[in-house]
């Protein structure tokens, strides 16, 4: 199959491109290199199964041309990362909503298969863990910038499902939970690469809030295998799927694990949310996916152990530091 990946030079997109080429597909990537980077896909350039274009997912004629050349589109391009969202709310809302509109209009013309990336952020402040796909979404007030991201992605989901119902477009939505692994940068505020870089440098490891909040971290290799399996499985059409790990860890425990893996003497410090983000920032205490629906549909669920994930990320940060 020929697969069009928007945001294909990003952290997840570049791993997905690599995986699909390995399993015999052809890949066409579009990326504007805003949070993505050429270095993520440099090793694929020159491979006859790989092609890339630099451009924005909001450029409708370009997107239409690339959609037409492929059998299936996987739409990952988005403004992501809590820090970016809090700092650039207009950019976040416009990129996420308009980009998805452009993609859906293009696939609808030719009734082509599309998979839309969404996020666990859409569950918002719900405390009913684990989160299942049909659960209510509990968003915060519009005065808190964080929720603009959740709302923009929820709107993407509604639009995608509406195209499926109204126009019969074969749409699948997947919600990604804290995906981590090599190539993720800490620049946009993601916790694991930030901790790993701090531990390797020997600088303080910055835990925000009490550190008793927890997350489930999923290896990007498990994530891209799951996306590929949803793409190959027609029964996923019209559905929404959680993709993530169901092993929970507190941020305090994660900081300890990273420090131990790195053999680092870094101090672990706690920073109030108001200093780390902005005044009134709202975090969620727990976020865990129910992955039963994913497992039922594709026959497996993410399994990479957290210890292995942490050691992969620490090793990468050490290698980056050595070459910097």
Q: Verify binding: residue 207, ligand UDP, rule CB under 6 A.
A: yes
Q: What burial letters (b/e) apply to 23-32, b meaning 16+ CB within 10 Å?
A: eebbbbbbbb
Q: Compute φ and ψ for 305, nearest 5 degrees.
A: -70, 145
Q: Out of 28, 169, 176, 190, point to the residue binding ligand UDP (CB under 6 A).
A: 190
How far is Cα 230 from Cα 211, in angstroms, rounded to an integer? 34
In angstroms, what is the minimal distance from the CB of 125 to ligand UDP? 12
The answer to whether 189 contacts ligand UDP (rule: CB under 6 A) is: yes
Q: Is residue 206 involved in binding ligand UDP (CB under 6 A)?
A: yes
The residue range among 153-161, 204-212, 236-244, 256-264 that interacts with ligand UDP, by the rule CB under 6 A, is: 204-212
Q: In what order do the strands lie in the sheet with 113-119?
A: 50-54, 26-31, 2-6, 72-75, 113-119, 171-176, 240-243
Contact range with ligand UDP by CB under 6 A, out of 94-102, 162-170, 185-193, 240-248 = 185-193
Packed helices 89-110 and 60-68: angle between N→C axes, nearest 10 degrees:
40
213 binds ligand UDP (CB under 6 A): yes
> 193: buried, middle or exposed (CB in 10 Å: 19+, 13-18, 0-12)?
buried
Q: Does 178 bind ligand UDP (CB under 6 A)?
A: yes
Is there a contact between 5 and 13 (Cβ–Cβ < 8 Å)? Answer: yes
Alpha helices in 146-298 (DSSP H): 146-167, 191-201, 220-232, 251-262, 273-276, 292-298
- Cα distance between residue 160 and residue 166, in whole Å: 10
Smaller CB separation from ligand UDP, 21 or 138: 138
- Closer CB to ligand UDP, 184 or 304, in the complex: 184
What is residue 49's three-state secondary structure? Answer: coil
Q: In angstroms, what is the minimal distance from the CB of 168 to ligand UDP?
A: 34
Residue closer to ligand UDP (CB basis): 69 or 321: 321
DSSP string computed for 58-83: T-HHHHHHHHHT-SEEEE------HH
- Of 168 and 204, nearer to ligand UDP (C-beta) is 204
To ligand UDP, the closest distance from the beta carbon of 17 in angstroms equals 23
Quick note: the x/- pattern for ligand UDP over 215-244, rule CB under 6 A, is x-----------------------------
Q: Which residue out of 149, 163, 188, 208 is catalytically annotated?
A: 149
Judged by CB under 6 A, which of 103, 251, 294, 314 binds ligand UDP? 251
Shortest distance (Å) from residue 216 CB to ligand UDP: 10
Is 149 an annotated catalytic residue? yes
Whether omega before 130 lies within 30 degrees of 0, making that bond cis, reads: yes
Interface mask (CB under 6 A) for ligand UDP, residues 19-58, using x and -?
A: ----------------------------------------
Pick 83 or 318: Cβ nearer ligand UDP? 83
CA-closest candidate to residue 68, choices 31, 27, 107: 107
Stretch that binds ligand UDP, among 57-65, 108-116, 200-208, 259-267 (CB under 6 A): 200-208
Among the listed residues 156, 150, 157, 177, the one whose alpha carbon sits nearest the alpha carbon of residue 243? 177
**Residues carrying an active site annotation:** 149
Summarize as ranges the residues that interact with ligand UDP (CB under 6 A).
82, 178, 189-191, 194, 206-209, 213, 215, 251, 283
């Amino acid at each position: 199959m020929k697969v069009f990946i928007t945001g294909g030079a990003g952290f997840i997109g570049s791993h997905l491109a690599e995986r699909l080429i390995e399993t015999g597909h052809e890949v066409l990537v579009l990326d504007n290199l805003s949070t993505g980077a050429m270095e993520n896909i440099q090793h694929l350039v020159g491979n006859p199964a790989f092609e890339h274009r630099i451009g924005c997912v909001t450029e409708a004629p370009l997107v239409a041309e690339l959609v037409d050349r492929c059998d299936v589109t996987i739409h990952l391009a988005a403004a992501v990362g809590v820090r970016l969202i809090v700092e650039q709310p207009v950019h976040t809302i416009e990129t996420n909503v308009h980009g998805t509109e452009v993609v859906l209009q293009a696939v609808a013309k030719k009734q082509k298969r599309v998979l839309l990336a969404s996020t666990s952020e859409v569950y918002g402040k719900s405390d009913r863990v684990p989160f299942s796909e049909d659960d209510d979404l509990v968003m915060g007030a519009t005065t808190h910038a964080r929720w603009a991201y959740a709302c923009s992605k929820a709107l993407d989901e509604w639009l995608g499902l509406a195209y499926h119902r109204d126009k019969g477009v074969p749409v699948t939505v997947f919600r990604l939970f804290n995906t981590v692994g090599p190539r993720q940068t800490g620049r946009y505020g993601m916790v694991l690469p930030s901790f790993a870089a701090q531990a390797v440098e020997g600088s303080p490891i910055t835990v925000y809030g009490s550190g008793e909040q927890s997350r489930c971290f999923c290896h990007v290799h498990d994530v891209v295998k799951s996306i590929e399996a949803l793409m190959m499985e027609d029964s996923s059409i019209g559905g929404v799927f959680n993709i993530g790990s169901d092993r929970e860890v507190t941020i305090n425990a994660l900081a300890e694990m990273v420090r131990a893996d790195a053999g680092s003497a870094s101090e672990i410090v706690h920073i109030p949310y108001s200093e780390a983000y902005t005044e009134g920032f709202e975090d969620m205490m727990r976020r865990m996916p129910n992955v039963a629906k994913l497992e039922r549909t594709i026959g497996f669920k993410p399994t990479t152990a957290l210890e292995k994930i942490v050691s992969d990320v620490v090793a990468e940060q050490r290698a980056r530091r050595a070459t910097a």
